[in-house]
């Protein structure tokens, strides 16, 4: 009723509220019919409610935030359309890769409710939403693809492993907290998970990503994310540590060589050591998901063809192993 007295706000807000209400009804219906998991219903309904509140206050936001809220509403709506009968994961490689990673993180019995959505936000990065219910073993996972950069090409495909890392309960909890420090540690934890799961391919793909997004964006940090360059510097340290005196230690320099001269932004140097330390401390807890140095030694020295249960993660590395100039260890 009050809406008539708030003329400047009435049109967009009423329309968003109506759309978001319809979305929540569709989700409830799909969950009742068993077409989506309760985790998916809950995750998207909660998101819808928070967007509704954003929409009500949209005029208080900066233009950039308004664009973001609008993009999120479009993305939520696109996700629900897919759940309501659209193709869930058109790219089979992407689906197999995410499921393989999520099961390695949460256990083989994890029930993965997965969709892939082409995002409406013109971001150059991937992003995702995940919610895990340890009681039922359900994990709702949505990967949002960038409309600007194609992350399904082999050179960038390992970046999807970072997103799958968000299925990890500890990382998920950290990125959901209010403080920037915790969120940064959560993102760095997903990087660590991705390194342990996808090995050298992870490092090769970081160089490719910096080239794809450009140095300026790679040096940009936000409240939720440290810069890609800081994250790279930390991954370099950890990879050197875990692959020391193995046959693949030289791959760290080789993979990150093209971007080794880009310095960590001055404003982030203080955070570098605390994030590094946080990750080193958490390393023993994540060893359970490590695919193992021997597998990567085999792939890059041409000795192993057997996938030992990780066909997609091995194939990501086989691509970079085959692309190396001159080959050899």
**List of residues contacting Zn ion (CB under 5 A):** 187, 190
| Minimum CB distance to Zn ion, residue 190 (Å) | 5
C-beta of residue 83 within 8 angstroms of C-beta of residue 24: no
Nearer to Zn ion, 128 or 299 (CB): 128
Is 144 in a helix, a strand, or coil?
strand
Please say which residue, 66 or 152, places its beta carbon nearer to Zn ion: 152
- CB nearer Zn ion, residue 190 or residue 234: 190
Q: C-beta of 192: minimal distance to Zn ion in Å?
A: 12
> Are 101 and 164 contacting, i.e. CB atoms less than 8 angstroms apart?
yes
Tell me phi and psi for residue 23, to 5 degrees.
-65, -45
Residue 114 or 190 with smaller CB distance to Zn ion: 190
Least Cβ distance, residue 14 to Zn ion (angstroms): 34
Looking at the Cβ atoms of 30 and 190, the one nearer to Zn ion is 190
Nearer to Zn ion, 176 or 250 (CB): 176
Query: CB of residue 187 vs Zn ion: minimum separation in angstroms?
Result: 5
| CA–CA dist 306, 212 (Å, integer) | 32
Looking at the DSSP bridge assignments, the partners of residue 131 are 140
How many H-runs (helices) and E-runs (strands) does the chain carry?
13, 3
| Helix (H/G/I), strand (E/B), else coil: 303 | coil
Tell me how crowded residue 6 is: count the other CB atoms within 10 A of its CB.
Answer: 12
Tell me how far, at minimum, the Cβ of 2 lies from Zn ion, in Å.
39
Nearer to Zn ion, 189 or 207 (CB): 189
Question: Smallest distance, Å, CB 180 to Zn ion?
Answer: 14
Please say which residue, 208 or 297, places its beta carbon nearer to Zn ion: 208
DSSP conformation letters of 14-59: HHHHHHHHHHHHHHHHHHHTTSS-HHHHHHHHHHHHHHHHHHHTGG
**Two structure tokens written together for 272:** 């570098």
Question: What's the min distance (Å) between Cβ of 12 and Zn ion?
Answer: 30
What distance in Å separates the CA atoms of residue 329 and residue 314, rounded to the nearest whole number? Answer: 17
Closer by beta carbon to Zn ion, 138 or else 191 = 191
Residue 141 forms beta bridges with which residues? 114, 130
User: What's the residue count for the chain?
Assistant: 329
290 is written with which tokens? 């490590």
The rounded distance, in Å, linking the Cα atoms of 34 and 44 is: 16
94-109 burial: b if 16+ Cβ within 10 Å, else e: bbebbbbbbbbbbeee
Report the nearest approach of Zn ion to the CB of residue 161 (Å): 11
Q: How far is the CB of 130 from Zn ion (least distance, A)?
A: 10
CA separation for the pair 291, 158 (Å, rounded): 14
């Amino acid at each position: 009723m009050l809406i008539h007295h708030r003329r400047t706000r009435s049109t967009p807000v009423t329309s968003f509220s109506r759309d978001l209400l319809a979305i929540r009804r569709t989700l409830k219906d799909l969950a009742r019919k068993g077409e989506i998991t309760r985790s998916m219903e809950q995750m998207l309904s909660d998101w819808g409610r928070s967007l509704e509140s954003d929409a009500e206050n949209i005029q208080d936001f900066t233009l950039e935030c308004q664009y973001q809220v609008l993009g999120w509403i479009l993305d939520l709506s696109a996700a629900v359309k897919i759940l309501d009968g659209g193709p869930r994961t058109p790219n089979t490689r992407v689906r197999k890769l995410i499921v393989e990673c999520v099961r390695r993180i949460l256990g083989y019995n994890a029930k993965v409710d997965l969709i892939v959505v082409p995002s409406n936000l013109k971001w150059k990065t991937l992003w995702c939403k995940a919610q895990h219910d340890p009681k039922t073993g359900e994990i709702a996972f949505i990967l949002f693809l960038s409309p600007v950069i194609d992350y399904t090409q082999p050179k960038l495909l390992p970046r999807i492993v970072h997103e799958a890392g968000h299925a990890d309960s500890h990382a998920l909890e950290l990125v959901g907290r209010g403080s920037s420090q915790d969120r940064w540690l959560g993102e760095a934890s997903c990087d660590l998970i991705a390194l342990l799961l996808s090995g050298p391919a992870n490092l090769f793909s970081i160089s490719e990503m910096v080239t794809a997004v450009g140095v300026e964006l790679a040096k940009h940090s936000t409240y939720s994310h440290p810069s890609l360059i800081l994250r790279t510097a930390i991954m370099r340290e950890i990879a050197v540590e875990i692959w020391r005196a193995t046959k693949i230690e030289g791959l760290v320099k080789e993979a990150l060589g093209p971007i080794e001269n880009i310095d960590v932004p001055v404003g982030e140097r203080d955070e570098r050591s605390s994030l590094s330390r946080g990750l080193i401390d958490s390393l023993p807890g994540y060893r359970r998901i490590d695919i193992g140095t021997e597998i990567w030694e085999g792939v890059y020295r041409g000795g192993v063809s057997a996938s030992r249960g990780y066909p997609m993660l091995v194939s990501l590395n086989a691509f970079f192993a085959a692309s190396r100039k001159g080959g050899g260890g």
